[in-house]
Amino acid sequence: MLLLIDNYDSFSYNLYQLIGEVLLEEGRTDLQNPENPDIRVIRNDELTVEEIAALHPDGIIISPGPGRPADAGICEALVKAASLEVTPMRPFQTVLGAVNGPENPIREKSPSRISRADVAKDTAPGIGSEQEVFRWPPILGVCLGEQGICEALGAQVTYAKELMHGKQSIVTLDLTSPLFAGLGEKIPVARYHSLAVDATTLPEELTVTATADDGEVMAVEHRMRPIFGVQFHPESIMTPDGKDILRNFVKLTENTTAEENQTSARLNIRQRGRKDSAVQKERKSHDKGSHHQDRQQGGPLL
Which run of H or of E encompasses 43?
strand 39-43
Which run of H or of E encompasses 210?
strand 206-212
Which residues are known catalytic residues? 143, 233, 235
Q: Computed from CA positions of residues 280, 176, 11, 153, in that sequence, does the dihedral angle turn out positive or negative?
A: negative
Strand, helix or coil for residue 167: strand
C-beta atoms surrounding 64 within 10 Å: 26
Contacts of 272-278 with C-beta under 8 Å, sequence gap 24+, read 272/174, 272/176, 272/207, 276/207
**Judging by beta carbons within 10 Å of its beta carbon (0-12, 13-18, 19+), is residue 147 exposed, middle or buried?**
buried
Residue 209: closest CA among 179, 238, 249: 179
Q: Are 86 and 96 in contact (CB under 8 A)?
A: no
The angle at the Cα of 196, spanning 193 to 199, to the nearest 5 degrees, equals 155
Residue 267 has φ and ψ, to the nearest 5°, of: -65, -40
Residue 143: closest CA among 255, 10, 297, 276: 10
| Amino acid in the structure at residue 289 | G
